Chain A
Amino acid sequence: MLNEHEIYLINAGIDGELDASELGELEALLAASEEARTMHAELLKLSNILAAAPDQKPPEELARVILDRAAPRQAFSLRSVFSAFQPATAGVAFAAGLLATVAVYEWSPGPGDRSVHEQMAGTLVAGREAENSKPVDSLDWQAGGHTGKVLLRREGDLSVLDVEVLGEGSLEISFALDDAGLDFGGIMIGQTGSTTENQHYEVSGGALRVTSQGNQEFSLFLPAAVQHSDSGKAIRVEVLAGGEERFTGNIGG
């Protein structure tokens, strides 16, 4: 019966992990023990079989997709999220629920007044500091030829979702804010890589729905709802692409 050290010598010998002294020990062991020779031969055979498995070839377009996604991400990094946007401008674009300009919005919660948020466009402020931002969770998804990422971070008493969407055609993303004990505080549209003319959002039924076309980047600012105290719960994210393919996942919690 081989002892623990002898088993180690045989395994480590196959793996090329032995020093000169240990190699000498292994050679002596193999010369003296039939059991050791059998184990060594079996492990060598297994190692050779595994080594014979051919490499898998990644999809040809994978590198390009990664590089395409990497570029806008760098302009949308956590620390630069505020500096990457122009100063706030008047909220005229919200008149029809259509956001057509680059702006920074901050919520102005009316205590317990959800009706305000149901129709809100956001109250304009500029330049919130992002230094205290703490990443909490991330979620990657694919749906109907779109890919995307949602990053949840905490910024003081705010939950912030940074959302990135890549792909052609229209897409609807909804965030179940009520269930997570959150309110909609505002939306900030990224300059880089975004086509701000074709994005629409609405808050209804306790959820925020953002409809967008093409590549998009935006951040959602979500204060804890006054009437809820459980803003640490997961936020359900649903993606509807091309009217058919769906993705459902949770972030945070």
Chain B
Amino acid sequence: MEIALIEKCKSGDREALGELLGQYQKPVYNAAYRILGNPDDAADVTQVVFLKVFENLDRYDPKYRFFSWIYRIAVNESINQNKRGARTQPLDEREIPAWGGPDAALESSSLSEQIQGGLMALSENYRMVVVLRHFSDFSYREIGHILDIPEKTVKSRLYSARQAMKETLQARGVY
């Protein structure tokens, strides 16, 4: 079914493009947001990603999930956006409210912000694997394909990233 949709998109069928966009826009935007930490940058990257996807549908290799192909483009564009100077606020300029502990944090609507602060404190490499595993639900193999790194590296990077993330969230009173 997805292949049929892709074929329609290749022929420039606007309705099909809209359908593809409807399926993947939100997850791509969310991943970009978690990587970049800024909604405007995430919107920019999402836009560029889908324009590239539409332009390069001929290059899609069906042996991989279509979704992981899109993510590979999204990750690369997010890295590029970071290089160009993303609009991410430095952590020390963020408004971090005082927390009354894990329960209070979980009840707060700002949990997402706190988690985002924790993510932004990670190195880009660590942040990527955490986002792809925990927010996008990719397998180790798929993460390796998306980031172009061996599966073994995914595992070790994910372990270290989680340790760092745990410490960061502990410091913020979220963990």
Residues of A within 8 A of B (CB): 7-8, 11-12, 15, 17, 42-43, 45-47, 49-59, 62-63, 65-67, 69-71, 73-74, 77, 140, 142, 147, 149, 249
Tier of interface size on chain B: 35 or more
- A47: B residues at CB distance < 8 A: 134
- A46 and B47 contact, Cβ closer than 8 Å, known pairs A17-B139, A54-B112, A67-B17: no
Which residues of A have CB within 8 Å of B140? Answer: 12, 15, 17
A140 contacts B43, C-beta separation under 8 Å? no
Chain B, 119-175, CB within 8 A of any chain A CB: 130, 133-135, 139-140, 155, 158-159, 162, 165-166, 169, 174-175
Residue B101 lies at the interface, judged by CB distance under 8 Å to chain A: no
The answer on a CB contact under 8 Å between B174 and A49 is yes
Point out the residue from A52, A56, A65, A66 that lies within 8 Å of B42, measured CB to CB. A56
Q: Are A58 and B55 in contact (CB under 8 A)?
A: no
Return chain A residues, CB-CB under 8 Å to B112: 53-54, 56
Contacts of B44 in A (CB 8 A): 140, 142
Binary contact readout B102-132 vs A (1 if CB under 8 angstroms, 0 otherwise)? 0000100001100110000000000000100
Query: Does B33 make an interface contact (CB < 8 A)?
Result: yes
Interface residues of B in 37-54 (CB under 8 A from A): 39, 42-44, 46-48, 50-51, 54
Instruction: Tell which of B25, B116, B159 touches A63, judged by Cβ atoms closer than 8 Å.
Output: B25
Report the Cα distance A220→B14, complex, angstroms.
Answer: 29
Q: Which residues of B contact A73 (CB under 8 A)?
A: 51, 54-55
Contact A46 B55, CB 8 Å, known A11-B158, A67-B14? no
